[in-house]
Structure 1
Amino acid sequence: MIRLITGFILDLLFGDPYWMPHPIRGIGWVIQQLEQRLLREEDPPGVQLWKGAALAVLVCLVSVLIPAGLLLLSYRIHRYLGMAVEAFMCYQLLATKCLKVESMKVYQALKDGDVEGARTAVSMIVGRDTSVLDETGITKAAVETVAENASDGSIAPLLYMALGGPLLGFFYKAVNTMDSMIGYKNEKYLYFGRTAARVDDILNYLPSRISGLLMTAVSFLLGMDGKNAWRILRRDGRKHDSPNSAQTEAACAGALKIQLAGDAWYFGHKKEKPVIGDPVRPVDAEDIRLANRLLYGSAVLALLAVCAVRGGMYCIMRIKI
């Protein structure tokens, strides 16, 4: 648990320096290389399905076995070296500060009146087409990304590392990265990316709901509209193609009293999507900053909850002994 707490603190302090090699970029490279070798759009759906499943298995094996080997070697050299490497791995699997830094670039550009710069900044953190977005659309895209990734980038990996250390965290991030790269329901990836998308749905089912509840609780603590966050979470928490993505978006929209989601453009095609939340007030650039407060608050609360559960289990075991 000490290694996880250390990794959490390191993430909040340093984020992801661009000069530092990052394992998630490495996982992305492996996915890209395997996709180039396996994906043939002329293949029948059944062949694309098994090829996509083979990619998923290979990526997960590589993503777990390499860090497992590094951990084993480090602990064999010295216990403290192993602990340091494990803490560093936990740090690299969390993306709380990185998400804040990238979204605040959008915020700053909007505040400076640089809509084109904001559009460029938001294109770095969303998968949709950003060329058609106006100032409101840019702001909504940034807020939605912060809200959704509060689970994917922070709380979910934290929960999995609490259960199984960084190796389970790497397994989760491998699946999550595959979903973000090939999990689209379009003509190219509908069958090839289906395994990755389905496994990602399974792995995120509980963490996304826990994240929605944590964000709702934090909205009370931060003086936001906690009652509305709870109401919108219950009402709109399933308004998404994914069974998980709308959970934190709904809690965030309710806490900020704004409306998120709605139609968006992907790969040149308009995708009709339901709205989340009520337009009690217009979306404003300040909502990006407020969404980041919810992100940080939810992440800290998740860590405290994990520590409390682990501490309680330890006490119970001691009493039984």
Structure 2
Amino acid sequence: MTGYVADAVFGDPRKWHPVAGFGRAAQALEQRVYADSKVRGAAYTAACAGTVTGLGVAAQFLTRKRPFARFALTAASTWVVLGGKGLAAEGTRMAHLLDDGDLPGARRRLSHLCARDATGLDTEQLARATTESIAENTSDAVVAPLLWGAVAGIPGLLGYRALNTLDAMVGYRSPKYANFGWASARTDDLANLVPSRVGAALTVASAPLAGGFAKPAFRIWRRDGKRHPSPNAGQVEAAFAGALGIKLGGTNSYGGRTERRGVLGDGREPEPVDVRRAVRLSRAVGLAALAVAVVVSR
């Protein structure tokens, strides 16, 4: 809980962010070991995530008889792996830019949320991309780390964040990473299998707190959650679409590669106001996930 509060108050550490440091180290290792090979990619994933998880195991072991040290390390680890405040801040910035009609600024800013090609996106498409990113990252950067921390302590927090970071670095579909990034992508899918569905359920439960609708959220989640190419992202995105009464999914472009996804929801196209609603819903889901994590950890 202390780590969650620290993230809510301070956001990401401004200097020497451990996740950024891990990313730089992983990138340096990739430059040394990269090959268009699933085996090489699996070894890379195991080395990176295994090292970080091992540090978490060591920290957990060394503090087994030191409750205050265990508390402090758990709180610090929770703080650095969560991304709730940063996610809300980016969503709010996008809403401001869209409200002001600053499409060039919004297109540039979208890169802070996702790797989607924003060239030529209009207001509705930018609002959709932002809302989808808020939904997916609510699961990846808030719900999942809280649940992994509750179940597996410091190793769970650090190991999960390492896997999620590797997926963002090499796990996307491209000619370069189709094989090398396969293990990172599949391991991240496995790590998010349960949290994504818990996140969708919490979206349903939290929808009324953010001015949304629980019944459509549940219906769209169960009907459309599998239409997304990811086994996990579609769960929360579909629940968000139903809760907010909007339509998500469709055609996206990533680095020259076009991806046609199933449509999630029956509502209208997203508008800038829906980005703000998605931010409120994300915060409500985060609080609900914290409550679940507290119960699970006892």
TM-score by length of 2: 0.94
CA distance, structure 2, for counterparts of residue 306 and residue 170 of structure 1? 16
Alignment partner, residue 9 of structure 1: 5
The answer as to 2:29 corresponding to 1:34 is yes
Gaps of 5+ in 1: 42-47, 312-321
Which of 188-197 and 269-278 deviates more?
A: 269-278
CA distance, structure 1, for counterparts of residue 100 and residue 208 of structure 2? 31
Alignment partner, residue 95 of structure 1: 83
Q: Percent same amino acid at aligned positions?
A: 38
Structure 1 residue 80, shift from structure 2 partner? 2.9
Q: How does 1:199-210 map to 2 (within 5 A)?
A: 199-210=187-198
Structure 1 residue 89, shift from structure 2 partner? 1.3
The answer as to 2:209 corresponding to 1:213 is no
Gaps of 5+ in 2: none
The answer as to 2:268 corresponding to 1:281 is yes
CA distance, structure 2, for counterparts of residue 108 and residue 187 of structure 1? 36
Alignment partner, residue 54 of structure 2: 65
User: 1:183 touches 1:193 (CA, 8 Å); kept in 2?
Assistant: yes
Change (3 A) 1:76 1:210: closer
Q: How does 1:80-229 map to 2 (within 5 A)?
A: 80-229=68-217
Alignment partner, residue 286 of structure 2: 299
Structure 1 residue 52, shift from structure 2 partner? 0.1
Structure 1 residue 92, shift from structure 2 partner? 0.9
SS at match of 1:191: helix
The answer as to 2:229 corresponding to 1:272 is no
Change (3 A) 1:21 1:68: farther
Give the root-mean-square deviation of aligned CA atoms. 1.9
CA distance, structure 1, for counterparts of residue 18 and residue 172 of structure 2? 23
Aligned pair count? 298
User: 2:147 touches 2:293 (CA, 8 Å); kept in 1?
Assistant: yes
CA distance, structure 2, for counterparts of residue 62 and residue 108 of structure 1? 41
Structure 1 residue 223, shift from structure 2 partner? 3.6
Change (3 A) 1:207 1:77: closer
Structure 1 residue 102, shift from structure 2 partner? 1.4
Which of 231-240 and 220-229 deviates more?
A: 220-229
CA distance, structure 2, for counterparts of residue 234 and residue 119 of structure 1? 32
User: 2:135 touches 2:278 (CA, 8 Å); kept in 1?
Assistant: yes
Change (3 A) 1:76 1:209: closer
Q: How does 1:214-253 map to 2 (within 5 A)?
A: 214-253=202-241
SS at match of 1:232: helix
Structure 1 residue 166, shift from structure 2 partner? 2.0
Alignment partner, residue 55 of structure 1: 44
Alignment partner, residue 243 of structure 2: 255
CA distance, structure 2, for counterparts of residue 134 and residue 93 of structure 1? 33
- Aligned pair partner of 1:23 in 15, 18, 22: 18
SS at match of 1:262: strand
CA distance, structure 1, for counterparts of residue 121 and residue 218 of structure 2? 29
User: 2:211 touches 2:277 (CA, 8 Å); kept in 1?
Assistant: no
Q: Which has the higher contact order (CA 8 A, sep 6+)?
A: 2
Change (3 A) 1:39 1:220: same
Structure 1 residue 61, shift from structure 2 partner? 2.2
CA distance, structure 1, for counterparts of residue 182 and residue 288 of structure 2? 33
CA distance, structure 2, for counterparts of residue 198 and residue 205 of structure 1? 10
